[in-house]
Amino acid sequence: MPKQTAPVKKNEIITLKFEDLTHEGNGVGKINGYPLFVPNALPDEEAKVKVVKVNKNFGFGKVLELISESPERVDPLCHVDCNGCGLQHMSYQLQLEMKQNQVKNAMKKVAHLEEVPIHPIIGMDDPLHYRNKVQIPVGEKDGELITGFYQKRSHRIMENTETCVTHNEVINEVVKAVRSIANRLGIKAYQEEKHTGVLRHIMVRTGHATDEIMVVLVTRTEKLPNQDVLIAELTEAFPNIKSIMQNVNEKRTNVILGKKTKLLWGEEYIYDRIGDLTFAISAKSFYQVNPVQTKTLYDKALEYAQIDSNDNVIDAYCGIGTISLFLAQQAKKVYGVEIVPEAISDAKKNAKLNGMTNAEFFVGEAEKIMPWWKAQGLDPDVIVVDPPRKGCDEELLKAMLDMQPKRIVYVSCNPSTLARDLRILEDGGFKTQEVQPVDMFPMTGHVECVTQLILKKD
């Protein structure tokens, strides 16, 4: 049988009509049935395209010139090539449709659950300036400090591109101020190649409901030159700064934060509110970056949990206790488990802060703690999971099936791994009732989902 070859060659220039989008937002066009994935192209557009990579079953291209434009094309507010928010060229309505289709396709092709209702995605009234946290690398050029995002697929900082349309606007201003003051004070940037210099990253966090600001200065060295002057100027310029922390990362690594974090000024926490609850947020806390949609997401999780005052609930991957405490408002008892000790320390603090005595938190791997709980006689009525992008560990899924709760609420940031895990839970005796997509990250290809499952009755 003759070897099949692609109908295009690398560096060839072709005219291509686009008919679809990938889940990352790339345009899809076909030449003799052979798909080419092309960034910055939309369905119903035609373009001159340069073929940049050819694989056996698909290839990649680059738009050289648009011949016809989609009515869904909009002019991006930002033209920085950082790969952070790559959907700015499409209307917000098209972004939502793309994400809705991503969820539908995963449910159909991976979970084989075509009959399950997938509700229309919940978008934002204003899809800009939603991020409450940012980490910006610091570099040096011609003896001056620069801050900005790394260029796509590189470790080169694009000079002074720290302003982003998805960031809370005050964050952009604080980063610029830190750079300007540190530059004037002669604080040197970290040099990756030589492993010299001081300032590696600037992290800024904000409380959406409180307007409180935390600044974290990530340094290679314990000593931060002229720190008192830096603190004085920064806090004078931004009275809402409540916390200035230093994180020391002495290692040659791409990991941003080191193990040691110390307080330089103010308090170790800033505070935020979601609904009726208040949360203390530390430098290393995992806290959702879109506070407006977090409330939407958690309200939906609570609705799907259908908790009453007699219910015992397990919150696996509980983080700093955000979902746990929402659940504890209605449950008899909530058991939270999380592998990160600092997160559990924050969760306990947050329970105390809100006067919640019916939430307990444990350090450990959920897949190991839950079988132990079952052996101790804990039979949860509801299990809530909010795993990382890779989805639930197989052992955790087994532990959930063994516990046989009445309901499972699965919060997911990755439709593919959600669908994979739903198939396992379905085969283990649960029925997927409904899925609610939520747009937590406008201008990006990411989509969050809340899914309700119920135990099938024999």
The pLDDT value given to residue 225:
93
Spell out the domains of the chain, with CATH numbers in brackets. 13-68 (2.40.50.140), 96-125+290-455 (3.40.50.150), 133-274 (2.40.50.1070)
The pLDDT value given to residue 1:
41
| Residues 201 and 137 sit within 8 Å (Cβ to Cβ) | yes
- pTM for this predicted structure: 0.90
To the query of whether residue 164 is one of the catalytic residues in this protein, the response is no
Burial class (CB in 10 A: 0-12, 13-18, 19+), 340: middle
Dihedral, CA of residue 251, residue 252, residue 258 and residue 260, to nearest 10: 20
Nearest-angstrom CA–CA distance, 194 and 139: 13
Q: pLDDT (tens digit, 0 to 9) for every residue of the chain, 458 residues total?
A: 445 688 888 999 999 999 999 988 899 999 999 999 999 999 999 999 999 999 989 999 999 999 999 999 998 887 776 667 788 899 999 999 999 999 999 999 999 999 999 999 999 999 999 999 999 999 998 888 998 887 776 777 876 666 788 888 899 999 999 999 999 999 999 988 888 999 999 999 999 999 999 999 999 999 999 999 999 999 999 999 999 999 999 998 888 899 999 999 999 999 999 999 999 999 988 888 999 999 999 999 999 999 999 999 999 999 999 999 999 999 999 999 999 898 999 999 999 999 999 999 999 999 999 999 999 999 999 999 999 999 999 999 999 999 999 999 999 999 999 999 999 999 999 999 999 999 999 999 999 999 999 999 76
- What's the Cα-to-Cα distance from 69 to each of 65, 198, 339, rounded to whole Å? 10, 48, 49
* Active-site residue (options: 85, 164, 392, 413): 413
With residue 60 as reference, give the H or E element that holds it. strand 59-68
Where residue 186 falls (left for φ over 0; alpha for ψ -120 to 50; beta otherwise) is left
